[in-house]
A = this chain, B = another copy of it.
């Protein structure tokens, strides 16, 4: 039997990242059913007959956050297929997707009744999540860190309009580093198509008001944002 070709059940799991209160957070749901009942897990769902996995992920994302997939930069993290990762039969194999969200006003209200909440990734990394979701989360965070280096997705963490300081906070939070303000400012505004000035300014609580920007057209960030020295 172990040598026979096998049918499996496929799921798409989501690692939805955002920045809240200065920390990188991930959306977790509490499992209401076995296996792993009561344990926190990544949101996800089963593949339907007429879907590709990307659509399954987009559908789940809309259910969990109310946001359209296009805006959230859905990217494949990888496939997790260890035979013992899920005790159910037939085997459950999952494909993980990374989504990057701005700080959402509501913690989340899914269409189903699952208790969903934002959890700092530092905490989540210490908690034992259901299945192999610890590993998936770690892989997704690492992917997000790499993406910040070479793409313009950092703007997806911000709202439609943001200041350079907002954007810098994204890099500092996700990478756990402190960046030089003047150099970051130049780098970002010089990069072609990364940010576009709106002409507006946002008054800060104190100090000089900052110019507002929108995300530019470019997807790739050239030259890449350096990530030489790291922090906690």
Interface residues of A (CB under 8 A from B): 1-10, 46-54, 76, 78-79, 81-83, 90-91, 93, 95
Contacts and interface: CB of A to CB of B under 8 A. Distances in A.
B46 A6 contact: yes
A223 to B, nearest CB: 9
Total copies of the chain: 2
Contacts of A78: 76
A140 to B, nearest CB: 14
B93 A49 contact: no
Contacts of A52: 81-83
Nearest to A224: B224
B79 A8 contact: no
Contact of A48 (B3, B48, B90, B95): B3
20 contacts: A1-B49, A2-B49, A2-B50, A4-B48, A5-B46, A5-B47, A6-B9, A6-B10, A6-B46, A6-B49, A7-B7, A7-B8, A8-B8, A8-B47, A52-B81, A52-B82, A53-B81, A53-B93, A54-B81, A76-B78
A47 B81 contact: yes
Contacts of A90: 7
Contacts of A53: 79, 81, 93
Given A50-B83, A51-B83, A52-B83, 4 more contacts: A4-B48, A7-B8, A7-B9, A8-B9
A171 to B, nearest CB: 19
